[in-house]
Amino acid sequence: MSDENTVSAEELIDELEQMLDGAWHLPLGRGKAVLNGEEARQILSELRDTLPREVSQARAIVADRAKILTDAQKRAERTIQEAETRARDMTSKQAVLRQAQKIATEMLTVAQKQTRDMRHASSRYVDDLMRRADDSLTENLSELRTARKNIQEIAAHTGKNHSRQ
């Protein structure tokens, strides 16, 4: 889903931080700096475009989880059907019939256990992916808000300096 020309939200935030680090700091400005507002707006615009793409990637992970669960259920159902078919096709001799029932029961038990195990593993996997995506997006949003606040403070301070001149 990624493209070589696509920039991640983290890269855009890094670029914004570099811009802030490289900005000219105002003397006695208590951390205020002058930077290229148009360039900052361009980075923020790209970040707005990037975040929905990363959210859609997270949604794709959830869809993959559903597919894994569906495939596991279908496999289990096929295995159960095969076991039932094999049991029905056995001859009526008692010894053979008892053996067939034992095998079918074992196959059913194994299939049910595999289904439970696959559901559990896929749920853990998807939960971990979603947690990491959530953590990343939360961190990116926090950094974005901090950068935006800094830019607003710079803009407000710059506006006051121009009105005093």
Domain boundaries, the chain: 9-164
- pLDDT, one tens digit per residue, over 53-74 is 777 787 888 888 888 888 888 8
Both tokens assigned to 59: 């949604």
Find where tokens 């070589």 sit: 4
The total of other beta-carbon atoms located within 10 Å of residue 20's CB is 18
Please report the pLDDT score of residue 87 as a whole number.
64
Q: Does residue 122 contact residue 72 with C-beta atoms inside 8 Å?
A: yes
Q: Which pTM value belongs to this model?
A: 0.34
Both tokens assigned to 33: 């700096």
DSSP H stretches of helix in the chain? 9-22, 37-89, 94-164
In order, the DSSP letters of 43-79 are HHHHHHHHHHHHHHHHHHHHHHHHHHHHHHHHHHHHH
Please report the pLDDT score of residue 92 as a whole number.
53
Mean pLDDT of 25-41: 80
Q: Which residues contact 95 (CB under 8 A, 6 or more apart)?
A: none
The pLDDT of residue 126 is above 70: yes
